[in-house]
Amino acid sequence: MSSVSKQKRQAKKGAAKATEKPITNGTAAATNGIAENGDTGDTAGCCAIEKNVVKDKLVENLALEMKEMDVNAEYRTCTGVLASHPASRDLKVYNFSVNFHGSEMLADTNLELNHGNRYGLIGLNGCGKSTLLSVLGRREVAIPEGIDIFHLHREMPPVETTALQAVMEADEERNRLEEEAERLAALHDDESAQDKLMDIYERLDELGADTAETRAAQILHGLGFTKEMQQTAVKNFSGGWRMRISLARALYLKPSMLLLDEPTNHLDLDACVWLEEELKTYKRILVVISHSQDFLNGVCTHIIHLDKKKLTVYGGNYDTFMRTRAEQMENQLKQYKWEQGQIAHMKEYIARFGHGSAKLARQAQSKEKTLAKMVSGGLTEAITKDKLTTFSFPDPGTIPPPVIMVQKVSFKYSDDKPLIYKCLEFGIDLDSRIALVGPNGAGKSTLLKLLVGELVPTDGMIRKHPHVKIGRYHQHLHDMLDLNLSAVEFMMQTFPEVKEIEEMRRIVGQYGLTGRQQVCPMRQLSDGQRCRVVFAWLAWQVPHLLLLDEPTNHLDMETIDALADAINDFEGGLILVSHDFRLINQVAKEIWVCADQKVTKWQGDISSFKEHLRAKIAKDRAAEAKEVEDVHAKASTAKKPAGKAMTNGKPATASSKAAAAKPASKK
């Protein structure tokens, strides 16, 4: 289970470290004529926000991170009755309610999680999905003591240990047992110590200690870590890569209850497919929040729908849920119409004949009793559809091609680093609809930075139309938000030409923020709601080209569909980097693969590319299974002298120590 106190200490250190750095403000300059390489003309979403401004907001957010961990729990109250046995591997909580900041997130509902099931938790942005996982992760509601929990919601702190060590150190039981085994193995003449040592070896064998390092390395490899990266200190990785390390620790531990909040957010398509294959065989309790329909279809055996403060469980994956839900709503509508027809008929009869002849009056009274029974027994609710989220990107007008020309461009970050791209040649126009795919490190985000002008080619030239406006969306844009301001206040500061508050509320409302969400401090908004503020800011700069780098992080499926509709209605060009197969399928006309210093067009759609990745992963898994088998066989047959066994200058695994220290028989 993750340590909250440790996370608080790391947040405090990060905030203190960040505040030591001086912050200066700068302004972006526009150029006229043909823009070349680093000159971007009028660039939205990138040069309009200087790095030092983003850093300034990052300092503030780091300083507030620790406070928010306490504040969120402090302002949250939970009630519920544990209905499962204290020793059960299942969790059943009845009459479950959660209150947050005075707002009811769950109201007198039931939660049931059974061992061996994999649940997808879905619901609209801001409905309380992440809050529910936090409540479970912090055990704010009664949970059987035998259920250990890992809640993945924050990246690994920037520590000195290597990525591989960080993953292996997550297994505290194995580490403790191996240290104890090493101590007992030195006590050759102590029979009771040797008996205890045998028990420890048996437990270590159950934990698979011989193959611990191999398994940890394989998990990291599946998440995109090369062998060199696995031996790199955690502190040298970005937040996204440290989140992968946290995910690797969770998969390595295999806790009784694994809670994953948007685990694909920091993954490329390769790692997403690998994770899907890994989780679909998880044999304990898995609860995952994800905006990826493909991912939920591949992983989940059940769907939990959080709607109107209630939790409803559906069997099957996301597609099955959608079919079942549609059938239920159709039947509910039929029942509602029938009941309303019956009620209208009885009311009309009562009104007409209630004061007529004795016979008719008796019939009217009978219908009045029938109506009262229907009402007291509970009437079918009317179908209320969720408010549709709509996005829009204003028409930027036309500019003649070519909009961007990439001419023999090569790039590397420094002289001592290898080339990421070599001799690229292509053009981008307003009708371009391109999805960039490829493994992490291949340079997808780097290519976007080159196109927008944030990076300058090492060789070659990037030429842009003098009037082109480029809007680049990326996750660091969230750091520019002053969370003490409301969405409306932020937008009015950014676009002072909009004078009327009501006009700005109308603009913000186009991106799915309504009522109080528009005027409350953005600190009280969910991550998904803050994303909508960023999209509103980006769209109202009226770019000709959209460069979207992982735009679906923190968005729910309904909002992603709205984004796809807006992109398809957009009159400008698009280059997309996304791990969401469904969004790519909805908006991209071409798939470009970034790999081996090149950008090449994939001859097929995104579905065929995913199948290509599946085949590659299946081949890798077969090789990994053989490697684990070989390591286990080698450890089982190893014969080493008693005492502190060594392997390659390091303490050997527990099982190889076992082979050395086991007595001939246990007395």
Q: Same domain for 435 and 558?
A: yes
Number of independent structural domains in the chain: 3
Whether 133 and 260 share a structural domain:
yes
In whole angstroms, what is the distance from residue 83 CA to residue 113 CA? 12
pLDDT of residue 312 exceeding 80:
yes
Report if residue 80 sits inside a domain.
yes
Best-predicted range by mean pLDDT (24-28, 194-198, 506-510, 581-585) = 581-585
388 falls in which pLDDT band (50, 70, 90)?
low
Highest mean pLDDT among 105-119, 518-532, 552-566: 105-119
The CATH number covering residue 308 comes to 3.40.50.300
Q: Which domain holds residue 424?
A: 404-469+542-612
Least-confidence region, from 120-134, 161-175, 301-315, 542-556: 161-175
Q: How many Å is the maximal CA-CA distance in the chain?
A: 108
Asked whether residue 110 is assigned to any structural domain, the reply reads: yes
Least confident of 311-315, 510-514, 660-664: 660-664
Do 457 and 578 fall within a single domain? yes
Quick one: pLDDT at residue 208?
64
pLDDT of 279 higher than 90: yes
Q: Are residues 373 and 410 in the same domain?
A: no
**pLDDT higher than 90, residue 205:** no
Residue 562 maps to a domain: yes
Asked if residue 395 is part of any domain, the answer here is no
Quote the pLDDT of residue 11.
45
Instruction: Answer whether residue 170 shows pLDDT above 70.
Output: yes
Residue 386 has pLDDT above 70, yes or no: no
pLDDT given at position 538: 93
In a shared domain, residues 552 and 596:
yes
pLDDT band at residue 78, thresholds of 50, 70 and 90?
Answer: very high
Structure confidence at residue 478 (pLDDT): 82
Supply 534's token pair. Answer: 């960023």
Q: Which residues contact 210 (CB under 8 A, 6 or more apart)?
A: 631, 632, 635, 636, 653, 654, 655, 656
Please check the confidence at residue 54 and state whether its pLDDT lies above 50.
no
Which residue, among 496, 498, 476, 488, has the nearest Cα to 521 in the 3D structure? 488
Q: Percent of the chain at pLDDT above 90?
A: 51
- Max mean pLDDT range (21-25, 177-181, 215-219): 215-219
User: Of 358, 377, 396, at which residue does a domain stop?
Assistant: 377
- Same domain (yes/no): 332, 291: no
pTM equals 0.74
Band of pLDDT at residue 318, cut at 50, 70 and 90: very high
User: Which of the four pLDDT bands, split at 50, 70 and 90, describes residue 171?
Assistant: confident
Counted residue by residue, the chain has a size of 667
pLDDT the model gives residue 612: 93
pLDDT of residue 456: 95
Statement: residue 581 has pLDDT above 60:
yes
Most confident of 13-22, 68-77, 216-225: 216-225
CA 517 – CA 629 distance, rounded (Å): 55
Instruction: Provide the residue type at 243 as one letter.
Output: M
Per-residue pLDDT tens over the stretch 237-271: 988 899 999 999 999 988 999 999 999 988 889 99
Which residue, among 525, 460, 459, has the nearest Cα to 489 in the 3D structure? 525
644 domain residue, yes or no: no
pLDDT category at 35 given cuts 50, 70, 90 is very low
**Across 321-334, average pLDDT:** 91
**Range 437-448 average pLDDT:** 91
Helix/strand/coil (H/E/C) assignment for every residue in 465-511: CCCCEEEEECHHHHHHCCCCCEHHHHHHHHCCCCCCHHHHHHHHHCC
> What mean pLDDT value characterizes the chain?
82
- Does position 33 have pLDDT exceeding 60, yes or no? no
Co-location of 304 and 260 in the same domain: yes
Span of 7-21, 434-448, 486-500 with lowest mean pLDDT: 7-21
Q: Is the pLDDT of residue 424 over 70?
A: yes
Segment of 173-177, 313-317, 398-402 carrying the highest mean pLDDT: 313-317
CA distance linking residue 204 with residue 210, whole number of Å: 8
pLDDT at 662 over 80: no
Residues 141, 85: one domain?
Answer: yes
Ranges of beta strands (E only) in 332-414 are 404-411
Q: How far is CA 464 from CA 350, 397, 517, in A?
A: 77, 16, 39
Interior/surface letters 147-173, b for 16+ CB within 10 angstroms, e for the rest:
bebbbbbbbbbbbeebbbbbbbebbee
At residue 665, does pLDDT exceed 50? no
Q: Quick one: angle between helices 191-207 and 172-185, nearest 10?
A: 150
For residues 296 and 424, state if they share a domain: no
Q: What is the rounded average pLDDT of the residues 103-109?
A: 91
What was the pLDDT predicted at 29?
31
What's residue 583's pLDDT? 95
**Spatial separation of the C-alpha atoms in residues 476 and 51, rounded to whole Å:** 10
What pLDDT is recorded for position 25? 32
Residues 397-419, mean pLDDT to the nearest whole number: 93
Determine what percent of the chain is predicted with pLDDT higher than 70.
Answer: 82
- Cα 508–54–245 angle (5° rounding)? 100
What's the average model confidence in pLDDT over 431-442? 92
Quick one: pLDDT band at residue 53, thresholds 50, 70, 90?
Answer: very low
pLDDT of the residue at 384: 74
Contacts of 641 (CB under 8 A, 6+ apart): 660
Inter-residue contact 40 to 470 (CB < 8 Å): yes
Per-residue model confidence as pLDDT tens digits over 118-129 = 999 999 877 889
pLDDT at 230: 95
- Domain boundary at 564, 592, 612, which? 612
**Is residue 162 a part of any domain in this protein?**
no
462 in a structural domain:
yes
Mean per-residue pLDDT, 80-87: 92
- Which phi and psi angles does 76 have, rounded to 5°? -115, 130
- Inform me whether the pLDDT recorded for 664 exceeds 80: no
Residue 363's pLDDT is what? Answer: 83
Q: Same domain for 575 and 458?
A: yes
Q: Examine the domain organization and report whether 427 and 573 are in the same domain.
A: yes
In this prediction, residue 8 carries a pLDDT of 45
Does residue 296 belong to any structural domain of this protein? Answer: yes
Q: Indicate if the pLDDT at residue 61 is higher than 80.
A: no
- Amino acid letter for position 176: R
Residues 426 and 281 in one domain: no
The side-by-side arrangement of strands in the sheet containing 573-577 is: 42-44, 469-473, 545-549, 573-577, 433-437, 590-595, 598-601
